[in-house]
Amino acid sequence: MKRGIVDANPAAYVLDNIDNAESKKDYPEKTVAELGAFIKWIPDPYYRAACTVLAKWGLRKGEALNIDLPFLHLDHPAYAEYLDERG
């Protein structure tokens, strides 16, 4: 391997030797009504909004938290002002 050039996947050896059979989890399946009831139960609007995003998109927490603000469309003057100040 030359400096700065990768000609192979450096993680390939590790990935080939991992037994993924044990890492599969058996998550419970929830209906839309059950998720809706859970989201309505959450008192904090911030957490309720985050859970709504997770439920609608079917994302994991880490994926949803990486949403960048400029890619959201929120029609509110405070949000537009915040984006202008942020640059």
- Segments of the chain assigned E as strands: none
Give the mean model confidence (pLDDT) for residues 46-71.
73
How is the chain split into domains, by residue range? 31-86
Give pLDDT tens digits for 27-56: 677 787 888 899 999 999 999 998 888 787
**68, 83 Cβ separation under 8 angstroms:** no
State the Cα–Cα distance between residues 1 and 6, nearest whole angstrom.
6
| Better pLDDT: 17 or 5 | 17
Q: Fill in the DSSP letter of residue 69.
A: G
pTM, full prediction: 0.39
Q: What percent of the chain has pLDDT over 70?
A: 56
The tokens for 60 are 């994991």
Which two tokens mark 57? Answer: 């998109």
What are the phi and psi torsion angles at 60 (to 5°)?
-80, 160
